Amino acid sequence: MPLSVVGVSHDTAPVEVRERLAFGASEASQALLSIRREEGIQEEVLLSTCNRTEIYLFPSHAERSRSVVERVLSRKAGFSEDAVRQYLFQISGEAAVRHLFHVSTGLDSMVTGEAEIQGQVKEAYERAATLPVDPPMAGPVLNRLFQMALSVGGRVRAETPIGEGSASVASVAVELARKIFGSLQGKRILILGAGVTGELIVEALAREGIRGIVVANRTHERAVELARKHRGHAIPFEQISEALRSVDIVLSSTAAPHPVLTRSIVRDSFDKPRPHPLLIIDIAIPRDVDPAVGDEPEVFLYNVDDLRKIVDDHVQIREQALPKAAGIIESHSEEFRVWYSSLALVPVIRRMRKEARRHRDHELDRLLQGMSHLTEEDRERVREFSRRLVNKLLHQPTVRLRKGMARGGGAELVDAVRFLYGLEESDGPPPPLFRSEDSRAEVFRADEIEGNQRAGD
């Protein structure tokens, strides 16, 4: 199977490299067009997320495909091809099929079972499928592969607990906030510090409706930068106590060697008991928040160990799904293999039927020329008899070919049929895999031909 996936992922490249190789939507389209200009590559899909950039190619030749991708990625990152090469992985053939199925189900993610990846796979496929080029970027093979990958992802999520529970610090933070406040629409958050994990949590909360974002950092310029990014506003670190009065959530991730939020600071922020709950998420090491703060009324304090414990509990639930998920993936991988193998049958069955029709027409003409006394109705009965006879004779070989292909012995059977029917010299180039009148590039399948046999010519 001349299918390859070449790229980088969280397993092969650090974040500073992956971010240089991340493609936006328009950049991905341009990259696909650039690859299309490389002779011999007909179908391509580019999948790019924060944790991976992968390019699926068909048909592909191992060394050539890798060099094509190296050139595209080196231009994107501004690295030399040698520098990019050390981070690349390449998977070919049926292993590439299984890889995509693992990706779409979240089994290949940093956090097992993450839900976002399936939507990202769908976006990558649709971008390739809708580019106005002929033939399509997502032609018959990658179209089938990605449609099946999305189906596998949906089935695994529906039939296993792979997506149950939050499985990242950011998603756990959202889960805790929902439990305390219900809807997060319009809630306000105070950010102390400006770490990467903190930003991920803020982004996750913002997607749930958080709008009022206040940022305090020891370096005020960094606070201004982060506030601008999230449409909030920055305050001096000395104004934390005042800011506490108007926020619902505090997220702290400074690098301070001692607590920056003490029980006295929290108490001094209010002249009377708090009118609403305050959720404090402390992900700093060492801790930013004095543990005694959690004893205050209406204050809910969670540190990084608390969050990790929740994550680990959910991950254990998800890991219980792995055996069944692997079985689903293997089943669909075999289904794709059989489908792909059946493509080789199409030109052979076509030639077989064409030759049979040619002989039938020749003998039928000879027969009818000597039977001028027959009425037109009788002549049509003879023609119908000849069509049915040919279809009956070809039906069993077609069924056997398909069964042999499904068992993995199709190549030898196809060669044998070519030899027995004398098709070696007359085959010519294989027909296109898609109908010219069908923009969706629907593949001709052997079962369609068999259906035609059953229905007559």
Give catalytic residue positions: 50
Closest CA to 449 of 395, 378, 400, 383: 395
Phi-psi group of 80: left, alpha or beta (phi > 0 → left; psi -120 to 50 → alpha; rest → beta) = beta
CB atoms within 10 A of CB 102: 20
Closest CA to 19 of 83, 78, 77, 81: 77
Tokens describing residue 226: 């982060």
Distance CA 396, CA 417 (A): 13
What b/e readout covers 153-162, taking b as 16+ CB neighbours within 10 angstroms? Answer: bebbbeebbb
* Cβ pair 440, 375 in contact under 8 A: no
Closest CA to 156 of 338, 336, 337, 332: 332
CB atoms within 10 A of CB 268: 12
Tokens describing residue 18: 């992956």
| Strand locations in 376-427 (E) | none
Backbone angles phi, psi at 302, to 5 degrees: -130, 130
**What distances in angstroms separate CA 120 from CA 85, 146, 440, one per listed residue?**
25, 12, 21
Tokens describing residue 159: 């039939």
Give the length of the chain: 457
Count of H-run helices and E-run strands, the chain: 18, 10
Distance CA 369, CA 357 (A): 18
Kindly give the residue spans of alpha helices, DSSP state H, lying in 51-195: 62-77, 81-85, 94-105, 116-130, 140-159, 169-181
Strand order in the sheet with 278-282: 233-235, 212-216, 188-192, 249-252, 278-282, 299-303
Facing residues of 41 across strands? none
